[in-house]
Chain A
Amino acid sequence: MSIFIDENTKVMVQGITGNQGSFHANLMQQYGTNIVSGVVPGKGGGSVSGVPVFDTVGQAVESTSPDCAVVFVPAAVAADAILEEIACGVSLIVCITEGMPVLDVTRVMQVVNSTNVRLIGPNCPGLISPGRSKVGIMPSQIHLPGPVGVVSRSGTLTYEVVQALTDAGIGQSTCVGIGGDPIIGTSFVETVQMFQEDDETEAIVVIGEIGGEGEEQCADYIGKCVNKPVVGFIAGRSAPAEKRMGHAGAIVSGSTGSAEAKISAFEQVGVSVASIPTDIAKLISEVL
């Protein structure tokens, strides 16, 4: 089992004719992802890499019944894209788009919370179940199928860790980028819970960073409900306070969000925290 996606997942690409949308739709297809349709208003009737393009999500859903939508549209229209997908009954939505206004995300979340829709992101690299399916922008070649579930707020930092795991011969069940924004659709806790319940996942890697309290909540959850080994990394130990470190959500503000607090929360529940990202592989090999 993998979590969220597998080889049967049918994927629709919102914004498939854009620069990033077309580039990554093509890479996802090459990886074996079952891309069934694309949506761009005004471009209906065309096709990209053999994938039919529709004007509306409604048309794409009617003709191709996707299980999952991946969003590449610009930040200003991303909330509208997600709301359109929810309205048309798409149950898994992965939003790659970076830079969404935070109030747009709260409006989306209010709708998400009243439905059974699963939103991952925004501002995330997406997710990959190695050897099965990739719904995102991560470089495919660094991944290897295997028993480790990876969840992270970051994109490229995750690639760094995954590369180290793969180099050590340790494969991944699913890697989930939950996104670097202050408000995101799926939390560390929800993802770790799915890894805990996934038969194929034997150990979990949690890659956090400064800002917010998602890592602390995750540590609390791990202490109470997770019996699989968990290894962590927290970025931003050397970040100055009150400065946004690139990610809209990465800011140490007052007494909350410091790397020290997160590392200590993890260590208190028995999670080993690596001091450099690549050491994750070593820590994982010790617990597997």
Chain B
Amino acid sequence: MVCSADEAVAAFHEIGGRVVVKAQVLSGGRGKAGGVVLADNKVAVEEAAEKILSLEIAGYDVERLLVTEACEITKEIYLSALVDRAAGSIAVMASGEGGIDIEQVAVQSPELIVHRYVDVIAGLPPFAARDIGFKLGLDWPQVREFQIIACKIVQLLTELDASLVEINPLIVDGGGHCRAIDAKIDLDDNAIYRHPELEKFRNPEEYTFEEVEARNAGISYIKLNGNIGCMVNGAGLAMALLDVIKGQGGEPANFLDVGGGADSKQVRTAMNIILSDPSVQVILVNIFGGITRCDEVAQGVIEALGSITRKVDLVVRLVGTNEEEGLYLLKAAGISAHTSMFDAVREAVEIAS
């Protein structure tokens, strides 16, 4: 793993022969984007490294490269273990048409993909892994290697609480051996508490400061490009609010689900996160209390307003559990509230435009 063209050349000298220079970003589709280049001399390695380091792939600046021995490839296989949403289970997927564009293979020629459900408690038995290997057209010596790899990625999926472990491509090299050339792992945020050691792999560039702060507080926050800051309880209602704002000609500044059963402290944190976005001109609070209590929300909103240092308008819609108590608190603080979400959106859009 290197960060500059000079280091890439040094790595080339160490490896010798033919190498492949690969962009290291948290995205697929690197080959198509020009992020994977073969080179067999110093000048070519230097050029490749410089070119790839100047690329942006799927929104990521390329800052690191992998320089590694180029393999002779006689067959490319796609192999993954994944949480199969539709089946409510885990599955192994494999295809003899590996390499790039497995999604396209899945759509255009699903018959080229071997899909096998896995017992989530027992794991993938070796016989099932061998069966997949033979279906991919591998010979017995390769199937022997393949079955170990396939069983291990299922084991890895369950041990890491991952939602995807993918090797693409898994190749058969010139010597007839299976080798994993590239891999990808998706982790489950809900299970990360069991694997604190994996926190360090989070890419800090992927999240804004506010998104990290929100996550730490148990709030779902996604920054968008508008000027209406939104605070909502419940993801579905938060999404619907964005849709209604857009439908009324407004632009939401964010998605924010304050979480089920949020207390006043959480609401205050949410308000502060919304306010930290300088483009927010109006905050639209849309709460339909269920497990969340309106009085807690009102308390949090009032506390956040107390410490506010810039001018921002507030539109509140507050109904549901403990509605009366919440409205009473708001009224005492001089804040009026809507009962209809649509009316609240219209007022917020009017203020913001």
Residues on A facing B (Cβ under 8 Å): 19-20, 24, 27, 75-76, 96, 98-107, 109-110, 113, 125, 137-139, 142, 152-160, 163, 180, 182-184, 207, 209-210, 212-213, 217, 233, 235-240, 243-250, 254-255, 275-278
Q: Are B188 and A102 in contact (CB under 8 A)?
A: yes
Residues of chain B within 8 A (CB-CB) of A96 are: 291
Residues of chain B within 8 A (CB-CB) of A104 are: 191
B235, B260, B288, B342: the one within 8 Å of A276 (CB)? B342
Q: Are A239 and B239 in contact (CB under 8 A)?
A: yes
Q: Are B242 and A159 in contact (CB under 8 A)?
A: no
Q: Are A101 and B188 in contact (CB under 8 A)?
A: yes
Q: Are B321 and A139 in contact (CB under 8 A)?
A: yes
Residues of chain A within 8 A (CB-CB) of B291 are: 20, 24, 96, 125, 137, 155
Query: Beyond the given A102-B163, A180-B235, A278-B340, could you list 5 further A-B residue pairs with CB under 8 A, ordered by the A residue number?
Result: A103-B158, A152-B236, A156-B290, A235-B239, A248-B189
Q: Are B236 and A180 in contact (CB under 8 A)?
A: yes
Sample of 27 A–B contacts (CB below 8 Å): A20-B291, A27-B321, A96-B291, A101-B161, A101-B188, A102-B191, A103-B83, A110-B121, A125-B290, A139-B288, A154-B234, A155-B234, A155-B290, A156-B287, A156-B292, A157-B237, A159-B288, A180-B236, A237-B246, A245-B235, A246-B234, A246-B255, A250-B235, A276-B243, A277-B244, A278-B341, A278-B342
Complex interface: stretch among B84-92, B298-306, B308-316 = B84-92
Q: Are A237 and B243 in contact (CB under 8 A)?
A: yes
Q: Are B240 and A245 in contact (CB under 8 A)?
A: no
Q: What separation, in Å, do the CA atoms of A139 and B232 have in the docked complex?
A: 16
Which residue of chain B has the shortest Cβ distance to A20 in the bound complex? B261
Residues of chain B within 8 A (CB-CB) of A105 are: 88
In the complex, how many angstroms separate the beta carbon of A265 from the nearest chain B beta carbon?
Answer: 15
Q: State the majority secondary structure of interface residues on B.
A: mixed
Q: Are B88 and A183 in contact (CB under 8 A)?
A: yes
Residues of chain A within 8 A (CB-CB) of B189 are: 248
Q: Given contacts A106-B88, A182-B83, A276-B247, are A98 and B260 in contact (CB under 8 A)?
A: yes
Which residue of chain B has the shortest Cβ distance to A259 in the bound complex? B243
Q: What separation, in Å, do the CA atoms of A102 and B194 have in the docked complex?
A: 13
Judge if B119 is at the interface, Cβ distance under 8 Å.
yes
Which residue of chain B has the shortest Cβ distance to A105 in the bound complex? B88
Residues of chain A within 8 A (CB-CB) of B295 are: none
Judge if B133 is at the interface, Cβ distance under 8 Å.
no
Q: Are B120 and A245 in contact (CB under 8 A)?
A: no
In the complex, how many angstroms separate the beta carbon of B233 from the nearest chain A beta carbon?
Answer: 6
Q: What separation, in Å, do the CA atoms of A160 and B287 have in the docked complex?
A: 10
Residues of chain A within 8 A (CB-CB) of B103 are: 254-255
Residues of chain B within 8 A (CB-CB) of A249 are: 85
Q: What separation, in Å, do the CA atoms of A254 and B105 have in the docked complex?
A: 13
Q: What separation, in Å, do the CA atoms of A125 and B290 have in the docked complex?
A: 8
In the complex, how many angstroms separate the beta carbon of B198 from the nearest chain A beta carbon?
Answer: 13
B121, B246, B247: the one within 8 Å of A107 (CB)? B121
Q: Are A139 and B320 in contact (CB under 8 A)?
A: yes
Residues of chain A within 8 A (CB-CB) of B238 are: 245-246
Which residue of chain A has the shortest Cβ distance to B83 in the bound complex? A102
Q: Are A154 and B237 in contact (CB under 8 A)?
A: yes
Q: Are A159 and B190 in contact (CB under 8 A)?
A: no
Residue of A27, A139, A213, A244 with highest tally of chain B CB at under 10 A = A139
Which residue of chain B has the shortest Cβ distance to A244 in the bound complex? B220
Residues of chain B within 8 A (CB-CB) of A240 are: 222, 224
Residues of chain A within 8 A (CB-CB) of B35 are: none
In the complex, how many angstroms separate the beta carbon of A285 from the nearest chain B beta carbon?
Answer: 17
Q: What separation, in Å, do the CA atoms of A276 and B344 have in the docked complex?
A: 14
Q: Are B240 and A183 in contact (CB under 8 A)?
A: no
In the complex, how many angstroms separate the beta carbon of B102 from the nearest chain A beta carbon?
Answer: 11
**B215-242 contact mask (Cβ, 8 Å, vs A): 1 or 0:** 0000010101000000011111111101
In the complex, how many angstroms separate the beta carbon of A57 from the nearest chain B beta carbon?
Answer: 21
Residues of chain A within 8 A (CB-CB) of B240 are: 157, 160, 233, 235, 276-277
Q: Are A103 and B220 in contact (CB under 8 A)?
A: no
Q: What separation, in Å, do the CA atoms of A125 and B246 have in the docked complex?
A: 27
Q: Are B247 and A110 in contact (CB under 8 A)?
A: no
